[in-house]
Structure 1
Amino acid sequence: MKIVSYIFPFLLLLIACDKETDNPISPTASLLQGKWIHNEAYISAGGPQYWVDVDNGEAIEFYMDGTFSSNRFTECDTGNFWIEENTLFLEYTCDEFETPANNEDSYITYRLELFSDYFILTPTSGPICIEGCSYKYQKVGNTDN
């Protein structure tokens, strides 16, 4: 009986620490704060979708004041962001900067799924993948701003 009293808490601990049960959390600007690196893409070559590693992916950093910086575009690397109903809005603030990813209001939008140490973006503006595509960003650090 003594063995069972030691084994049960140990098994409970193992189950509670299972990373495969990571569930999305409600995204907020404060939870998005920090630096993130695009490290995987969910793609399809006409068949089932699958995750592939991304080398030298975009780095994006979100700040508490609602601004962000990114190395995605060489012409513009800063802007404003906000989240509404699991949608991430990016507004690049450089004069006369436009990209095909902009919607009619000049924002780039994504469906946002936030997890404890990564998030997944699915495009909802601009050219959208017919077979579906998503981008995974891994958290690499926090900011002080």
Structure 2
Amino acid sequence: MKSRIKYCLMALIVFVCSCKKESSNNALIGKWKLAESYVGTGSGNTDKWMPVDPKSNLDVQFYKDGNLGGNSYPIYKSYSIKDNKIVTFYKPDGTYEDFTYTIANNSLTLSPAGPIVCVEGCAYRYVNVNNSLRQLLP
């Protein structure tokens, strides 16, 4: 009886250890609509998030195959995840731009991280359209 319990426990441990963790870029997959922008003045006193015009319809879409869509970054056609903080957007000619990213509370924040950066600070906050639609469905 004890050996049977040991084998069941070992099988459970092997099963749990063999499960794949969801890839961090899966959180990016989908369509994101621009909701706010942040532009620093350099003084720090008037820096704040500003809502964008809801009629602007600016968005970015991350596809599972690494393609990038939407109209927020039309010169970039693909992306790759460097780590849990940096996503790289690529132009067709191979040039690129790194962006820091965070995902929290159904929103994605992107900020240029190089080679072009905003010295005074800038960032863009997007709302996940896919999750927003799922919440509206019964």
TM range (shorter): 0.5 to 0.7
Say whether residues 1:83 and 2:68 are aligned partners. Answer: no
TM superposition outliers: structure 1 runs of 4+ over 6 Å: none
Q: Which has the higher contact order (CA 8 A, sep 6+)?
A: 1
Number of equivalenced pairs:
105
Q: Where do 5+ consecutive residues of structure 1 fail to align?
A: 1-26, 97-104
Over aligned residue pairs, what C-alpha RMSD do you find?
2.5
TM-score by length of 1: 0.62
Q: Where do 5+ consecutive residues of structure 2 fail to align?
A: 1-22, 132-138
Q: Which residue of 1 aligns with 2:39?
A: 43
How far apart, in 2, do the equivalents of 1:37 and 1:50 lie? 19
Task: Give secondary structure in 1 for the equivalent of 2:100.
Answer: strand
Q: How does 1:1-145 map to 2 (within 5 A)?
A: 28-48=24-44, 49-55=47-53, 56=56, 58-72=58-72, 76=75, 79-85=77-83, 86-93=85-92, 106-141=95-130
Higher helix share: 2
* Cα distance change on mapping 1:126 and 1:57 into 2, 3 Å: farther
Task: Give secondary structure in 2 for the equivalent of 1:124.
Answer: strand
TM-score by length of 2: 0.64
Tell which structure's C-alpha radius of gyration is larger: 2
- Displacement of 1:57 in angstroms is 5.3
Task: Give secondary structure in 2 for the equivalent of 1:45.
Answer: coil
* Cα distance change on mapping 1:35 and 1:133 into 2, 3 Å: same
Note if contact 1:39-1:57 (Cα within 8 Å) is conserved in structure 2: no
How far apart, in 2, do the equivalents of 1:91 and 1:137 lie? 20
